[in-house]
Each structure stands twice: as structure tokens, then as C-alpha cells.
């Protein structure tokens, strides 16, 4: 069944308009009595039946509620130094499928891509849409948010609000470091937050690593191979899924 994120349910009914209305009526060509999943802002999922099709809206009636969740027990934010091209779109789409709670981008010293406020606004709108579509496709219970911060200092300020801060560091991988990430996943408890920071092409500069360590960021290696900037976040999320959902913590 298709999945849609809604703002509210009143009297066991939900009305959908806008792009989702178009998708339901024009793309999926749903008919009365068809069923969908509806997800509320508090991450509850309902099975609902289509009971009315208007000129610019559809209305569903709740049939039942699902008890299971598809969310990681820890809240992971993926922070990416601005990469080239459309790599953030890939990170956002696949990262949503893999369970990221939110995404953040920042200008790193080695970032070739540059965003002014106008470009950032347009990019964030595009990435928000990608996250929503990926959340629906992967049956998430929440749509991840996307935020762009305008400076490295702003990243440091945001980082202080997390329970854990980790930075994927190429030199750690080269030196054979292999236990820090596993230790982190052993320590993190359900409901806690992890900010995972990844550099752009060329990685983070030494002075950026020093600043991150000053806010208690943990340097971690991601195995013996050097990963691309768009691959490393997906590796991290897959490892988290194994640790918390499939491994001993699951």
C-alpha cells in the first residue's frame, strides 16, 4: 500500500490536498474503498480507507492502527561537508531509506561547491522533497528534515546539542582504527542522538578535526577501504542498522 504523511486526524478522518492529492487521484488513480497507510506527526501509522474524492481533496477514514515501527532506536543526523554535483541528493535519498532522522550540510574548507542564501533555500526545498518521497517509499514513520548551516562554527554550535558526535576521519582508517564505531554503538541507548559528520571530496582539514575534537567529537574509521563522500554516510547508517536492529542490540 502507498504511504502518505499527514498533518492531523480529526474524528478518525484525514483530508489530503496538494501534491499528495494529485498523486493519489492522477498518478495512482485510486478509487473509493482503496486503502493506504497514513502517518501522523507523532509517528503513528494507520491503515485508512478512501471515502471521498473531491475536486481538490481526498478524504480517508481510519480503519486500524499499526503497532510496529520502522525507525532506528537512536536518532542519527548525517552532516555532510558540501560535496560536488548532486551527491547530497543521493545521500538524502538513500540515507532516508537507511533510517537517518535528519540531514545537515555545511561549508567545509575543502568544499568546492558554494551556497549563498538563495541557492541554499532552493536546495533545501529540493532535498526536503527527496526525503519525503524516500520516506514514503521505504515505509518510514517520520520524514527526515534537512538543514543547511552557513559556517563551520554554526556546525560546532549545533553539535553541542547531541549526545554523541562522531567524525569519519580518513587518517583513522589508514591507521587501522577499527573499534571506535563499535564501541559507540555499544554505548548509545535508545532515544539518544548521534551527529555523524563527513567531509567533502578531499576530506576535512586538520584544523577542522581539531575544532571538532574540542566539542568532544570522536574520530572513527569506517573500515580499511577509503570511501567516497557519498558512500561513507550510507556505510555508517548500515552499520548502525546492524548494531541496533539486527545485531545484539536489536
The pLDDT tens digits for 121-153 are: 999 999 999 999 999 999 999 999 999 999 999
User: What integer pLDDT is reported at residue 250 of this predicted model?
Assistant: 45
Cα–Cα dist 132/144, whole Å = 7
pLDDT category, 174, cuts 50, 70, 90?
low
The pLDDT tens digits for 46-103 are: 999 999 999 999 999 999 998 877 899 999 999 999 999 999 999 999 999 999 999 9
DSSP string for residues in 67-134: ----S-SSEEEEEEE--STTHHHHHHHHHHHTT-SEEEEE--TT------HHHHHHHHHHHHHHHHHH
User: What integer pLDDT is reported at residue 67 of this predicted model?
Assistant: 82
Question: Quick one: which H or E segment has residue 166?
Answer: strand 164-168
Counting Cα atoms < 13 Å in the Cβ hemisphere of 52 gives: 14
pTM: 0.87
The pLDDT tens digits for 207-223 are: 999 999 999 999 998 98
Domains and CATH numbers, the chain: 3-66 (2.40.240.20), 75-246 (3.40.1280.10)
Strand partners, 147: 104
Residues present in the chain in total? 250
Amino acid at each position: 500500500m502507498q504511504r502518505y504523511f499527514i498533518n492531523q486526524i480529526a474524528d478518525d478522518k484525514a483530508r489530503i490536498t496538494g501534491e499528495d492529492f494529485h498523486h493519489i487521484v492522477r498518478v495512482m488513480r485510486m478509487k473509493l474503498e482503496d486503502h493506504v497507510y497514513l502517518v501522523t506527526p507523532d509517528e503513528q501509522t494507520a491503515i485508512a480507507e478512501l471515502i471521498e474524492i473531491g475536486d481538490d481533496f481526498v478524504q480517508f477514514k481510519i480503519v486500524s492502527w499499526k503497532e510496529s515501527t520502522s525507525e532506528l532506536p537512536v536518532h542519527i543526523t548525517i552532516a555532510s561537508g558540501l560535496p560536488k554535483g548532486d551527491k547530497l541528493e543521493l545521500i538524502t535519498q538513500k540515507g532516508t531509506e537507511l533510517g537517518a532522522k535528519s540531514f545537515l550540510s555545511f561549508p567545509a574548507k575543502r568544499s568546492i561547491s558554494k551556497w549563498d542564501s538563495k541557492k541554499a533555500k532552493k536546495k533545501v526545498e529540493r532535498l526536503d522533497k527527496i526525503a519525503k518521497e524516500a520516506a514514503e517509499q521505504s515505509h518510514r514513520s517520520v520524514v527526515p528534515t534537512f538543514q543547511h548551516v552557513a559556517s563551520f562554527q554554526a556546525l560546532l554550535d549545533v553539535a553541542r546539542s547531541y549526545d554523541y558526535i562522531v567524525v569519519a576521519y580518513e587518517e583513522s582508517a589508514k591507521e587501522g582504527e577499527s573499534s571506535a564505531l563499535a564501541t559507540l554503538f555499544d554505548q548509545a541507548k535508545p532515544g539518544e542522538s548521534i551527529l555523524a559528520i563527513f567531509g567533502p571530496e578531499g576530506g576535512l582539514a586538520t584544523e577542522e578535526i581539531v575544532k571538532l575534537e574540542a566539542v568532544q567529537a570522536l574520530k572513527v574509521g569506517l573500515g580499511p577501504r577509503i570511501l567516497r563522500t557519498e558512500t561513507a554516510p550510507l556505510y555508517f547508517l548500515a552499520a548502525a542498522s546492524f548494531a541496533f536492529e539486527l545485531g545484539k542490540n536489536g
